[in-house]
Structure formats: structure tokens, C-alpha cells
């Protein structure tokens, strides 16, 4: 039996251009420190399953009810993935077919609501995601999104304002979850507010799904939530994909919404890889990983703040932090991101609450620890990282400093093998 890596040898002969880019990306991943909070290194078995024969198979429908023959093994794989998802997230139903995170959220809105219905969700510049009703998104045009914001003083969600917004706009769905918010969510408050106006509750746990799975962060289902969505490729460390988890009552609406409502054939290679990921998520090793992600995040945040960096909300409860680079270093987020790229430290420019600057030149950067932790980095390494980041951003023009740090980073990276390469 050949492994996907053996097949790369034939790729080298067949298509040297793609082969060269692939090797280049491998090298980039090995010799740099990945701090984009939504990225991770997946397990070698996930890479292998993604490149497996499940890629060849059409499986429209659900296990036991498919529109094509030959489903003996795909049914088994999808049942495994669904059952494991239910165990890991302690929920009644799981749909593992969404092709990615955006599709999974679209499936929820379109399956549970009517066009024009009101959804209460977090404002983009305060930490929400594009799929939470950004005006440029199709969902933002189809549904009436009302967006709540964070408290201007402490930066956390202003629950009194959320309640006022809910009472005023009577949403059908109250959505919490974020893409750039460094604090945990008070699910009991969201649930109370939603109950008061008779709305459904949804958490988009795309960023922290792996931390919930590993028991390091709280599970919205423990607070009576109706729906939780999560990507599978961020803190969960699986293939690129999305899942909708929900109560029994909503199961059939969600399933019909994913297929045939929104999608055609599921990617069975990704579903097989999700099954593999969710078995891993139940191990002690994964639980330790999830805890370490948070410890690393707190250590890195402290390291930066000890060096006078300004963090939105003044710290972190989760796997990420948002650094106000304008206030800290008088650099916009784009320059900060590009400067760190020079020393092989990968972050992303980030808008901050009520950012006066535009999205491509925002006032901050976002930093997260899931990928670095997957390579085995611990608290001491975060201290080292804080020192490099700070020094680099304090010398944005100094090529000599960049070269020195880059050399140190590359040497440091060699001690932390990338899983699967």
C-alpha cells in the first residue's frame, strides 16, 4: 500500500511546478512560528485520510439513505464521525457534512429561519465573523442582522446592551461566538436573554471547538443551547470542514438544510478525517494539548504586557489575544504583520473595536497559540516568543535586528517538528 507521501514522488515527475510549491510550503511551515489563531497543524493520519480513496466517492444523502450505490464504507465512516461528534460535544445530533465553516453557518440560518428574520450577533469589528451578518456577506443581505458590541472600557461583551438589543429587535436567533475576541462567553446570560424573547440560541465555536472538545473551555450545551457550530480545522486540529451540532428537535431541519438545501455531495475524505480527529479528541493527550494552548496563550499575553504592549481587554481567557499595535508600537497592523513575517513569525492584521482605520490597514494584530502548541511549545517558549515579537516591533526598520531574530527563530523551529511532515 502506498502512502500519500510515496505518491509525491510521482508528482515530482508529473508536475514539477506544483511539487515545488508544495515542498516550499512544507519548508515555510517548518521554519516559521505559526501564530494565526485560526490555524493549526493537523495529525499525520488526517493528512493520510484526506488523500485516501474516499476522495473518489459520491455519497449524496445520509447513511442508510443515499442517492448512489456502493455506500458500505462511506456509511460506516459518516456514522463514526457523527457518533464521535455527539460523544465529544455531549449533544443529541451532529451533521458532519458542511464543506467549511461558512457553509455550516449558512445551513443553520437557512434551515431554522425565514429570509428577513432577525438575528442578534456580534459586530465584526468587536470580534464577530463575516458570516455573522457583515454587510458584504450574502447572509447579511438575506437576514436582518442586529449587531451587539463590546464595552468601550473593559472590552468585554456588554450583556446589558445585548439584552436591550434583544428586547428592542426581538430576534429569532441569538448568536454568540467570535473570531477575534479574547474572552470567554457567559452562556447563561445569553440563554436567559434568548429565553426572555423566545429566540433560539446558537454558539459559533469555530475558533475554540477544540478547546471545548478537550475540556479546557465550557460547552454551550451544558447551558441549554440549541445549536453549536464549529470548524474542524482550527483548534480541533482536523481537516478543513464544519459541523453543525444540535438538539434532537432541530435535527431534521438542519440535515435537510445542509443537504439538499445548500450542498450536493459531501467530501467523504474530509468526513473520514473528521472521524479520525474526533477519536484523537477523546484522548488524554488531546486534553493536555487543549489545556496547554490556554497556558501558552496566557504566558504569551503576560510576556507582551510585561513589555508594555497594549492588549485589547487587557489579556486573554482563551487561545488568542489582540494586540493594539498602534497604541503599543505606533505601527498599523499591516506593517506589524509584515515586519513579523520578516522574522518568520506569522500573525494577522486585525481590526480592533471601533477601529478608526480600514480593514487592510487596521490598528492591531491577532495572535494565537493552537499551532505553536501542536508543535510542543510550552510556557518558556512563549516567554521567548514575547521577547522576539516585542523586539522586532520596536525596531520595524532595523534589518540587522530582523536578520538576527530570523536566525534565532529558524534555529528554534528545528527543535519542534511539525506533525505529519
Q: Exposed, middle or buried by CB within 10 Å (0-12, 13-18, 19+), for 101? A: buried
Please give the Cα distance from 53 to 3 (Å, whole number). 11
β-strand partners of 95: 244
Looking at residues 139 to 178 of the shown chain, list those that interact with ligand PLP (rule: CB under 6 A): 177-178
Q: Which three cell numbers, joined as nine digits, stand for 178?
A: 467570535
One of 206, 219, 347, 348 touching ligand PLP (CB under 6 A): 206
Catalytic member of 12, 60, 151, 186: 60
Catalytic member of 231, 316, 325, 339: 231
- Nearer to ligand PLP among residue 231 and residue 296 (C-beta): 231
Please give the Cα distance from 380 to 391 (Å, whole number). 17
Contact code string over 38-77 relative to ligand PLP, x by CB under 6 A: x---------------------------------------
- Nearer to ligand PLP among residue 181 and residue 289 (C-beta): 181
Residue in the shown chain whose Cβ atom is closest to ligand PLP: 101
Buried b (16+ CB within 10 A) or exposed e, 216-243: bbbbbbebebbbbbbbbbbbbbbbbbbb
Please give the Cα distance from 257 to 229 (Å, whole number). 14
Q: Are 93 and 250 in contact (CB under 8 A)?
A: yes
* Active site (annotated) includes residue 218: no
Shortest gap between Cβ of 395 and ligand PLP (angstroms)? Answer: 32
The Cβ of residue 194 has, within 10 Å, a number of other Cβ atoms equal to: 25
- Nearer to ligand PLP among residue 129 and residue 237 (C-beta): 129
Q: 191 Cβ partners below 8 Å, 6+ apart?
A: 201, 223, 224, 225
Residue 341 is inside which H or E element, if any? helix 333-342
* Active site (annotated) includes residue 45: no
* Active site (annotated) includes residue 234: yes
* Active site (annotated) includes residue 114: no
- Nearer to ligand PLP among residue 203 and residue 299 (C-beta): 203
- Nearer to ligand PLP among residue 202 and residue 272 (C-beta): 202
- Nearer to ligand PLP among residue 176 and residue 300 (C-beta): 176
Catalytic member of 19, 58, 62, 159: 58
Q: Give the β-pairing of 173-177 and 118-122.
A: parallel
One of 93, 126, 183, 207 touching ligand PLP (CB under 6 A): 207
One of 78, 158, 204, 324 touching ligand PLP (CB under 6 A): 204
- φ, ψ at 52 (rounded to 5°): -95, 180
Nearest to 285 by CA among 350, 213, 178: 213
Please give the Cα distance from 305 to 316 (Å, whole number). 11
Contact code string over 340-369 relative to ligand PLP, x by CB under 6 A: ------------------------------
**Angle (deg, nearest 10), helices 187-197 and 159-169:** 20
Piece in contact with ligand PLP (CB under 6 A), picked from 22-30, 204-212, 263-271, 282-290: 204-212
Please give the Cα distance from 234 to 42 (Å, whole number). 9
Piece in contact with ligand PLP (CB under 6 A), picked from 6-14, 68-76, 96-104, 298-306: 96-104
* Active site (annotated) includes residue 381: no
Does 102 contact ligand PLP by CB under 6 A? yes
Catalytic member of 84, 183, 234, 349: 234
Does 129 contact ligand PLP by CB under 6 A? yes
As annotated, the active-site residues are 58, 60, 204, 231, 234, 240
Residue ranges that bind ligand PLP, judged by CB under 6 A: 38, 100-102, 105, 129, 131, 177-179, 204, 206-207, 231
Amino acid at each position: 500500500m502506498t502512502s500519500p507521501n510515496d505518491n509525491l514522488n510521482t508528482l515530482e515527475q508529473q508536475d514539477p511546478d506544483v511539487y515545488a510549491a508544495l515542498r516550499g510550503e512544507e519548508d515555510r511551515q517548518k521554519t516559521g512560528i505559526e501564530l494565526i489563531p485560526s490555524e493549526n497543524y493537523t495529525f499525520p493520519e488526517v493528512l493520510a485520510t484526506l488523500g485516501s480513496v474516499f476522495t473518489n466517492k459520491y455519497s449524496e444523502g445520509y447513511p442508510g439513505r443515499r442517492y448512489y450505490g456502493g455506500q458500505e464504507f462511506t456509511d460506516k465512516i459518516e456514522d463514526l464521525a457523527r457518533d464521535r461528534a455527539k460523544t465529544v460535544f455531549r449533544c443529541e445530533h451532529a451533521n458532519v457534512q458542511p464543506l467549511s465553516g461558512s457553509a455550516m453557518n449558512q445551513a443553520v440560518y437557512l434551515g431554522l429561519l425565514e429570509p428577513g428574520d432577525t438575528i442578534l450577533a456580534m459586530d465584526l469589528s468587536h470580534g464577530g465573523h463575516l458570516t455573522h451578518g457583515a454587510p458584504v456577506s450574502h447572509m447579511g443581505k438575506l437576514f436582518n442582522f442586529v449587531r451587539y458590541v463590546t464595552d468601550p472600557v473593559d472590552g468585554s461583551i456588554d450583556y446589558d446592551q445585548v439584552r436591550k438589543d434583544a428586547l428592542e429587535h426581538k430576534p429569532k436567533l441569538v448568536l454568540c461566538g467570535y473570531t477575534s475576541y479574547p474572552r470567554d462567553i457567559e452562556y447563561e446570560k445569553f440563554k436567559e436573554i434568548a429565553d426572555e424573547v423566545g429566540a433560539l440560541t446558537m454558539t459559533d465555536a469555530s475558533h475554540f471547538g477544540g478547546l471545548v472538545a478537550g475540556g479546557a473551555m465550557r460547552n454551550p450545551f451544558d447551558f441549554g443551547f440549541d445549536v453549536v457550530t464549529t470548524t474542524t480545522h482550527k483548534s480541533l486540529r482536523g481537516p478543513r470542514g464544519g459541523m453543525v451540532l444540535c438538539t434532537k428537535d432541530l435535527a431534521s431541519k438542519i440535515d435537510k438544510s445542509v443537504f439538499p438545501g445548500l450542498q450536493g455531495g459531501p467530501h467523504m475524505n474530509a468526513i473520514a478525517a473528521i472521524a479520525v480527529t474526533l477519536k484523537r479528541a477523546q484522548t488524554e493527550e488531546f486534553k493536555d494539548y487543549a489545556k496547554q494552548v490556554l497556558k501558552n496563550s496566557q504566558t504569551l499575553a503576560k510576556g507582551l504586557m510585561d513589555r508594555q504592549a497594549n492588549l485589547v481587554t487587557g489579556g486573554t481567557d482563551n487561545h488568542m489575544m489582540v494586540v493594539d499595535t498602534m497604541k503599543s508600537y505606533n505601527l498599523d497592523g499591516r506593517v506589524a504583520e509584515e515586519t513579523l513575517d520578516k522574522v518568520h513569525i506569522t500573525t494577522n492584521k486585525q481590526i480592533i473595536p471601533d477601529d478608526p482605520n480600514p480593514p487592510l490597514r487596521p490598528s492591531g494584530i491577532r495572535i494565537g497559540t493552537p499551532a505553536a502548541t501542536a508543535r510542543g511549545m510550552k510556557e518558556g517558549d512563549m516567554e521567548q516568543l514575547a521577547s522576539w515579537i516585542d523586539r522586532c516591533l520596536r525596531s520595524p526598520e532595523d534589518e540587522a535586528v530582523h536578520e538576527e531574530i530570523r536566525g534565532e527563530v529558524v534555529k528554534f523551529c528545528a527543535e519542534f517538528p511539525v506533525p505529519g511532515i
